[in-house]
Amino acid sequence: MADDLELPAELAPPMANGEVLFEAPWQGRAFGMARALAEAEVFSWDDFRRHLIRVIGEWDREAERLNASGGEYEYYQHFLEALEGVLAEVGLLDDQDLAARVAAFRMRPHGHDH
Amino acid sequence: MGELSETALRAEALESLLVEKGLLSESEIDQTIEFYNERVGPMNGARMVARAWVDPSFRQRLLADSTAAVAEFEFVGGEVQKLVVVENTDTVHNMVVCTLCSCYPWAVLGLPPKWYKDPAYRSRSVREPRAVLTEFGVELPAGREVRVWDSSAEVRYMVLPQRPAGTEGKSESELAELVSRDSMIGVAVL
């Protein structure tokens, strides 16, 4: 496994304590957005956490119902969903606006995603 | 499109909307990420542990009022506004989890590792802590009690590991280098 990490320094993902802080850039963006918004007091971190607990709880209950092993768990998917939830709660995000933006981005030619 | 790249697209779309609304800028997001990469991490907790090992009065303060004790260091990163440090002894081994999400004392330990946030650790550390410890390579002497602490919005926990034998004469900074992140979560002994 160590050989997989032998990337030139400028390409290597951010390492903390020998581990990757974020597995993909979008996860860092999601975390950065949530923290920056909380620091700007758009919402409190406790408000965000309440949504995170709700989203994760829904996943846990569904996994238990399906007797699933938990292998499909993607923390930052739930994190992003929680962020959308708290933003909607404070009236700063409209589902339709987000859906429209996602659709528009999906239509972009290749080379835009990162 | 794979599920995760769909989420990446969603994150990108959300960011573009928020920036457009003037709620935050791309560089603020960049700076936040950089902050957690560069300035927040378990070396902070390790320094506190080392000080507790060499300074009995600090150790006492740390265990009596961990929030006040950590404030002495002025670590940045947050999530230690209510911190409780629990000490490992010859009779008690402590483990920390957040069963409901991912609560973790960022200012002293950095951001949590992936396994800490996984459903398996969140539920099994409470249900079968010794089995989880064995998987982490920790075999405790028979008869040692295992206590599992559930971090939450109200309080974050951190473990004060036992000082390893044969370290008498090491300086505080040398001792800090011995303290692993995992020992401060309670899934490793030093």
ipTM of the complex: 0.94
Chain B residues in contact with A27 by the CB 8 A cut-off are: 11
Judge if B181 and B89 occupy the same domain: yes
Give which of B156, B57, B51, B44 is closest to A45, Cα–Cα: B156
Distance separating alpha carbons of residues B23 and A86, to the nearest angstrom: 14
- Which residue shows structure tokens 């490793």? B188
Judge if B69 and B116 occupy the same domain: yes
Residues in chain A: 114
- State both tokens at B31: 């700076």
Domain harbouring B120, CATH code: 3.90.330.10
B112 touches chain A (CB under 8 A): no
Count: domains in chain B:
2
Could you read off the pLDDT of B32-60 as tens digits, one per residue? 999 999 999 999 999 999 999 999 999 99
Phi/psi of residue A4, each to 5°?
-65, -20
Count: domains in chain A:
1
Q: What is the pLDDT of residue A3?
A: 46
| Active-site annotation holder among B16, B25, B27, B101 | B101
Task: Answer yes or no: is A111 within a domain.
Answer: no
- Which residue shows structure tokens 């992003």? A80
Across the interface, which of B4, B17, B36 has its CB nearest the CB of A74?
Answer: B4
> The domain containing residue B34 runs over which residues?
3-38
Question: Catalytic residue at B103?
Answer: yes
Distance separating alpha carbons of residues B143 and A83, to the nearest angstrom: 44
Q: Give the pLDDT mean for B77-96.
A: 97
Report CB contact under 8 Å: A37, B117.
no
Task: Answer yes or no: is B190 within a domain.
Answer: no
The share of chain B scoring above pLDDT 70, in percent, equals 98
Q: What is the pLDDT of residue A67?
A: 80
Mean residue pLDDT of chain B comes to 96
A63 touches chain B (CB under 8 A): yes
Chain A residues in contact with B5 by the CB 8 A cut-off are: 113
Could you read off the pLDDT of B106-146 as tens digits, one per residue? 999 999 999 999 999 999 999 999 999 999 999 999 899 99
Chain A residues in contact with B98 by the CB 8 A cut-off are: none
A90 touches chain B (CB under 8 A): no
Quickly list DSSP for B48-81: HHHHHHH-HHHHHHHHH-HHHHHHTTT--SS--S
Judge if B157 and B112 occupy the same domain: yes
Domain harbouring A56, CATH code: 1.10.472
Judge if B14 and B70 occupy the same domain: no
Distance separating alpha carbons of residues B91 and B86, to the nearest angstrom: 13
Could you read off the pLDDT of A68-81 as tens digits, one per residue? 665 689 999 999 99
> The domain containing residue A19 runs over which residues?
2-106
Judge if B113 and B66 occupy the same domain: yes
Kindly report the nearest CA distance between residue B17 and chain A, in angstroms.
7
- Which residue shows structure tokens 């300035």? B39
Question: Mutating which of B5, B6, B9, B76 best tests the A interface, going by the most A Cβ atoms within 10 A?
Answer: B9
Distance separating alpha carbons of residues A112 and B184, to the nearest angstrom: 41
Report CB contact under 8 Å: B33, A31.
yes
Give yes or no for residue A12 having a pLDDT over 80.
no
> Do the beta carbons of residue A28 and residue B33 sit within 8 Å?
yes
Beta strand pairing status for B156-160 and B83-87? Answer: parallel
Judge if B47 and B31 occupy the same domain: no
